[in-house]
Structure 1
Amino acid sequence: MASYSNLLSILLISIFLLSVSQVSFSSLTEDDTEAQAQQLQVVKGPNRRLFAFVDCGNACAIRCGKHSRPNVCTRACGTCCQRCKCVPPGTHGNREMCGSCYTDMLTHGNKPKCP
């Protein structure tokens, strides 16, 4: 009988812990996830490769928002973002913040690919 009560106690504690973890996870709002995505973009150095998720669409829309050819810029930025998992902050410059992957990528005409 003692083992049955121990098993029941463990089961109840497990259910409680699962419900607490779901509540804390669901308490994140959409604004929190956007803020976290913005923080992931400005991570320097080799640790940036640890982050699998970068919202390339929104990041590239911001990056290419003031470009003279926004569609071309967004397409190139999307390619660079998918390969390097990083988009520099701002609309111009700061390319070194994404490391050598972003800065060293070239087009077929040996021009920098990433905006």
Structure 2
Amino acid sequence: MGFVTQLAYVSKGGGEGSVKVEDCPKECARRCSQAHGMKACLFFCNLCCEKCLCVPSGTYGNKEECPCYENWKTREGTPKCP
């Protein structure tokens, strides 16, 4: 699956289930547009989006909009989703 790089895309915001799986690449391109580790950000964002069907608005923070996205943790207890 290729990543769409439409960085000008504006999110509508919304809770879990507000994104369709086919929209995850463009939502994650928006979310990760300012990340220093773009490749890792896109990988984990797409993983989280496909599970939670939600990507928080903005390029950082706002995770409370998507509880699944916010609460998914690594084994070490750090956030899995960017």
TM-score bin, normalised by smaller chain: 0.7 to 0.9
Flag the 1:110–1:103 CA change in 2: closer, same or farther, 3 A: same
Residues 1:105 and 2:76 are matched in the alignment: no
Deviation at 1:108, TM superposition (A): 2.2
TM-score by length of 2: 0.77
Residue matched to 1:28: none
Deviation at 1:95, TM superposition (A): 0.6
Runs of 4+ in structure 1 over 4 Å off: none
Residue matched to 1:88: 56
* Structure number having the greater helix percentage: 1
Provide the rounded CA distance (Å) in 1 between the counterparts of 2:19 and 2:34.
27
Residues 1:78 and 2:46 are matched in the alignment: yes
Identity fraction in percent: 38
Kindly name which structure, 1 or 2, has the bigger radius of gyration based on alpha carbons: 1
Could you report, residue by residue, the CA deviation over 1:54-96 in whole angstroms, capped at 9, with x for unpaired residues? 5110110111111110000110000100000000111111111
Q: Structure 2, unaligned stretches of length 5 or more?
A: 1-8
Equivalent positions of 1:16-27 (< 5 A) are: none
Q: Which of the pair has the greater relative contact order for Cα pairs under 8 Å at 6+ separation?
A: 2
Q: Structure 1, unaligned stretches of length 5 or more?
A: 1-33
Calculate the aligned-residue CA RMSD, in Å.
1.9
Give the length in aligned residue pairs: 73
Residue matched to 1:63: 31
Provide the rounded CA distance (Å) in 1 between the counterparts of 2:14 and 2:71.
18
Contact 2:64–2:70 under 8 Å retained in 1:
yes
TM-score by length of 1: 0.56
